Amino acid sequence: MTKLKKNGEPRRQVREGTFGLYTGFAMFGALVLAGLIVPVISKYDPNQPGLPPMAPPSRDYLFGTDVLGRDVFTRVFDAVFIDLGTALIGVSIPLIVGTIIGTLLGISRNKKINAVVGSLIDGINAFPFLIFVIALIAFIGPGITSIIFALSLVNWARYARIARTRAVVVNHQGYVEAARTLGYSKARILFKHIIPNVSSETRAYALSDFIIVIIAVAALSFLGLGAPPPQAEWGAMIRDGNQIFQIAWWPTIFPGLALCWAGITVAFIAEGLQRRLRETNSK
């Protein structure tokens, strides 16, 4: 029930979730911006050792230096693109592949294909996500491309499951039936009418998945399965810093905080968008 003013106009109110959404965007944007600017203007090379090692945070080295004598501040922001970029690609590929496969399954009338691929999807989803990715990396070797490849190979099935359920519903909705009666081509119906409506749901999931994948990418590098040295990467930096954690906290804490910052800001955005979606749906 929407509250109406006496003259029948809806009361103007700030849309739900707006505050979190904007804060999230601003804070996430700040991180990306810093990732763009800091490596360029910084006096130090992110990967070149030579500064005094393990220098605590000071005016010269804002976040201190690591055990090899590299500026942690420069490295933390140099890693923004490798971390967020890997996660972004690692979410996008499964999103696209999973949405298409799931949609095709949902609208297909072939029961055999549906049953076989459906149980394959269930099978992949049954594996603990991180374990499956780790195992795949074992066979194809560590590295950023391996992470993306393994993530894609595992995660498409989750999107496909969501897309399939949704596609079954969308396929029988009035506007799709109407388009069919109008004699539109199958491809046009699929891409113009069905996929956009299916992907609204998979995209919503992708946003919360993005948080998981950001953390997973760092965790894999932490386990030594990701970016090879000297590449600055949060998980790898935490792994290196951990060796001297008791003596010097800064090489571990600052990349960790950057990782937390990325996760929380995306969570704010996801939460805000979800609230909006719910609000729009309930109207």
Applying CB under 8 A, which residues contact another protein?
A: 1, 4, 20, 119-120, 122-124, 126-132, 134-141, 211, 215, 218-219, 222-225, 235, 238, 242, 245-246, 249, 252-253, 256, 259-260, 263-264, 266-268, 270-271
Shortest distance in whole angstroms from residue 250 CB to another protein: 13
If the CB atoms of residues 149 and 184 are measured against another protein, the closer one turns out to be 149
| Residue 172: CB minimum distance to another protein, A | 17
Our CB check for another protein shows the closer of 89 and 130 to be 130
Q: How far is the CB of 257 from another protein (least distance, A)?
A: 9
Contacts of residue 53, Cβ cutoff 8 Å, sequence gap at least 6: 65, 66, 67, 68, 69
**Least distance in angstroms from the C-beta of 229 to another protein:** 15
CA–CA distance, 103 with 99 (Å, rounded to integer): 6
CA distances from 32 to 18, 21, 163, 197 (A): 21, 16, 30, 30
Please, what is the Cα angle at 253 between 249 and 255, to 5 degrees? 135
Choice between 23 and 42, CB closer to another protein: 23
> What is the rounded CA–CA span in Å between residue 280 and residue 283?
5
Q: Min. distance of Cβ 225 from another protein in angstroms?
A: 7
Rank residues 61 and 268 by Cβ distance to another protein and give the closer one.
268
CA 57 to CA 63: how far, in whole Å?
5
Say how far apart CA 189 and CA 281 lie, in whole Å: 23
